[in-house]
Chains A and B, each alone.
Chain A
Amino acid sequence: MNGLLETVAHTLAPGLLYPTGGAILFALGLYGLIRRHHLVLRILALNIMGSGVFMVLLGVAARGEGPPDPVAQALTLTGIVVAVSATAFALALVVHLTRLTGHAVMLPGPPDDDAPVEDISREEHHADGGPADRASSEDRPA
């Protein structure tokens, strides 16, 4: 009985419990990533996956007897910042994609064959706008 209790206690120690939770989050994120279409949701799913990773890392760091491993925590902090940067960039891309195409999902298919590809080295530029201007103005109804 004692042994069982000990095993349970061991299992439920944060050093194992949280990593397990992290693994679940990771799997959950992966599941969501596969299942959902909207790009924002996909970004959320990736963030949840990332959180899963951090949870594993912090859980592992907290496994020992003494104070938690500061290196792991530092790594997590770095990871979070990286994640937020990537998220911010991804969101910016999503906004621009929606602006250009009118939807925020990824279209399947190879970039064939008649898709107009613009060549930036040819474009005429005006002082007040970047290439994006032109793309957007083309995209919009006259």
Chain B
Amino acid sequence: MNGLLVLFDLVLLAGIVGVAWRCLASTDLFRAVVLFITFGLLLALAWVRLEAPDIALAEAAIGAGITGALLLVTLERLRSIMAERRSGRPHSPPPDPTGPHALLRALHDPLPEHRTFLPALTFALVVGGLLVTALWHQPQSVGLEPVVDAHMDVSGVDHPITAVLLNFRAYDTFLELAIVLIALLGAWSLGRHDLIPARPAPGPILPGTLRLLVPVAVVTGVYVLWAGSHAPGGAFQAGAILGAAGILLVLARPRQLPMAPGGPLRLGISAGVALFLLVGLYGLAAGHGFLGYAEAWAYPLIILIEVAATLSIALTLVALFVAGRPAGDDA
């Protein structure tokens, strides 16, 4: 416990809180999003400090990366929609209680009136204060670390987090995959992707960069996936990295997306869940319990699941980025 670390912690936390504050206080949405991405990266740093490299990796890839991309593209879409509406209907702004200007400037959120300031502040302070009080009263951790440690030898993998994710608490992980899938189904159900304006990333840099970036990303992804069994990394991180690559591809050629055939696409996005479930049901049938593995088969099965999950996650993330349902899905 040395002072420097404490100082680092303090500064880091102050930075995180400060960035979050600025993010939420900014009137310009673009600025807010950029600050949020920064916030994500700072968090990743904090996770490292908390000895959670897996989470740091995930935060960087998913929390900052994918979320950032999603946010940015959303802003872009909003701007485009607004512009189109403005040009189409100059004299009839849609109704909005927060004032006519706010609407026309899509990416601008005026600071709210002062009416809610005091109560909101009070409540936030009280809730935060109560939380802190509760946390300060907690005993030093008991935790599950010893239990996990004791079972690592039968988990089939070497990395405790992977063991927890894909063996001890595989059910959670399975559902997590399902949630990603449901989010995509939800987004798809809203309409076809061609309803949503898609804007190419401007400039010639991206296509050029892509040629470099995509292979690197694929390699990194595969590595992270493989490393997951014994070191920080795993399906989600890998999926996020692969997904990021996919997103870049989409960004580069937004109007010429490959016409994904419906059937295989569906299979692709549900492959992870399906495989996971199959293995789980097999475990049930074989007497290891639902989502259980025979000790000997644990490792290969986990890897199998991770591979499928990675692919599905990557595909799903890209699809979420596109946001609309591909035309092929309706065929």
A contacting B, Cβ–Cβ less than 8 Å: yes
User: Which positions in A face B, CB cutoff 8 Å?
Assistant: 9, 12-21, 23-32, 34-38, 40-41, 44-45, 47-48, 51, 54-56, 58-78, 80-89, 91-96, 98-99, 101-105, 107-108, 129-130, 132-133, 136, 140-141
Whether A95 lies near B55 (C-beta < 8 A) is no
Bound-complex Cα distance A104 to B106 (A):
8
Where chain B touches its partner, the secondary structure class is: helix
Chain B residues with CB under 8 Å of A80's CB are 55, 58-59, 62-63, 236
Residues of B within 8 A of A (CB): 1, 6, 9-10, 13, 16-17, 20-21, 23-25, 29, 32-33, 36, 39-40, 43, 46-47, 49-52, 54-55, 58-59, 62-63, 66-67, 70-71, 74-75, 77-78, 81-82, 85, 88-89, 93-98, 102-103, 106, 109-110, 112, 116-117, 120-121, 123-125, 127-128, 131-132, 135-136, 138, 140-146, 148, 160-161, 163-165, 168-169, 172-173, 176, 179-180, 182-184, 186-187, 190-192, 195-196, 234, 236, 317, 320-321, 323, 325, 330
- Select one of B24, B46, B196 contacting A32, CB under 8 A: B24
Give the dominant DSSP class at A's interface.
helix
Q: How far, in angstroms, from A37 to B328 measured CA to CA in the complex?
A: 36
CA distance A91 to B106 in the complex (A): 14
- Kindly list chain A residues whose C-beta atoms are within 8 Å of the C-beta of B124: 27-28, 30-31, 34
- A19-B135, A77-B55 are contacts. A129–B17 as well, Cβ < 8 Å? no
With A40-B75, A61-B143, A69-B145 known, 19 other A-B pairs at CB within 8 A are A27-B128, A28-B124, A34-B116, A35-B112, A40-B29, A41-B109, A58-B55, A61-B50, A74-B173, A78-B176, A80-B55, A81-B176, A81-B180, A82-B179, A84-B62, A86-B179, A88-B317, A92-B323, A132-B192
CB-defined contacts of A41 to chain B, threshold 8 Å = 24, 29, 32, 109
Residue in A12, A76, A108 whose beta carbon sits within 8 Å of that of B10 in the complex:
A12
Considering residues A66, A75, A91, which has the most beta carbons from chain B within 10 angstroms of its beta carbon?
Answer: A91
A95: which B residues are within 8 A, CB to CB?
A: 74, 77-78, 81, 196, 323
Roughly how many angstroms separate A72 CA and B121 CA in the complex, as a whole number?
30
Q: Which of A18, A75, A101 has its CB near the most chain B CB atoms (within 10 A)?
A: A18
Contact B160 A70 (CB under 8 A): yes
**Is B135 a contact partner of A56 (Cβ separation < 8 A)?**
yes
Complex CA–CA separation, A35 to B317 (angstroms)? 30
Pairwise interchain contact B81-A99, C-beta atoms closer than 8 A: yes
Assess whether B131 is in contact with A37, with CB atoms less than 8 Å apart.
no
**Within the complex, what minimum Cβ distance (angstroms) separates A2 from chain B?**
14
Chain A residues positioned under 8 Å from B58 (CB to CB): 77, 80-81
Verify B74–A48 contact, CB threshold 8 A: no
Q: How far is the CA of A35 from the CA of B120 in the complex (A)?
A: 7
Which B residue sits closest to A51, measured CB to CB? B43
Residues of B close to A93: CB separation below 8 A = 187, 190
